[in-house]
Structure 1
């Protein structure tokens, strides 16, 4: 009697197509399984050890806010090149408050940068200059100041927001003498009680003080608030004019 070939049963002994077959099952042949050597994440196509994917380059950070990075809508413009700015732009330019967008436009027109040099003032103080040259001069001054710091004394000069011209000139002469002797000068405006609302007057007074002393010394930083005082520290020049 001839035997009939048995047909494959579901789940039977045949191993061609059943789920457990090593050809097709997830854990079977390394050709197709996720962990396989050919195409898997940890397989033969992965980069060699130490071959990390490079990070995207970071945007260059600057010590000061410059140009479009300045967030204040208005700035107080200062500097010894205001006449040059006026000539280049055809505008009347003097120390004062301007729209930031206007100052950025002038800086671009001259191929220079708008630099926020005193961000905590109200409004912040800025100047138009070449930023790389500005940093070079700043570091040069800091190096000179550090070299002379052991020999120097810090002399204080105090103002009030209502300081008159006579008192201003008297204290200016003292400051010139201090700087000529190689000492630093700490000038500050003291605000008492409700006088704190006159911070603008104090700032203008100190900026005027710095202007008068530019042949004798240079500020380590622009005027800033320190509690109820607005202060600035002025370092002597090497060869001040008598």
Structure 2
């Protein structure tokens, strides 16, 4: 009630155009009547268009409204491309081929929506010729002028000469759209994975009658299947183990005992 009263007290007009909780226009009513209606229905009376004549108010749950607004703001910030600052180091002795390679590297950063800072570091006697580094940075800016704008012209900071470039509006918009498409694709994959995991396992119904003893009758395993005739005594005839072989073995053992 205290939060609702605080919101209601913001309304300074005597009459307001009221919209109920379902989005239906009630019409122009006095502020007192609107407050009483909000309290009876358990909603807050919130002024949504203070500059209108008369001001427009709605009946809604203010806590839920603020939560949804903050959620939308978080989603908007998430979809925006957060630009980063990439730094590329150069030397006064960097040749033209390496300079072109550095420029191509900077193009990748710019197309991704990031800013690029070129740093030319001078050492020793190189400080006597800062114009060399300035010409290098101007040449780089010329190579990138189609996709970048110069945010900071070559500036000497101690022994470092710096140039800051940023993607132009067209490139930045394209990078943001690519980021949104990537996020949407990631959400689609996540949703697909969730749907795949949420599928209920297939249950196989087993009839209880199949597990009863009646279906496994003793007749299925008849003793006739293992007839004694299959293991005839003739297969294990004593002739296969002749006594002569055993006698010869015994004689050999006695001969060895005598020798020992």
Shorter-chain TM-score category?
0.3 to 0.5
TM-score by length of 1: 0.37
TM-score by length of 2: 0.34
Structure with the largest fraction of helix: 2
Q: Which structure's CA Rg is the greater one?
A: 2
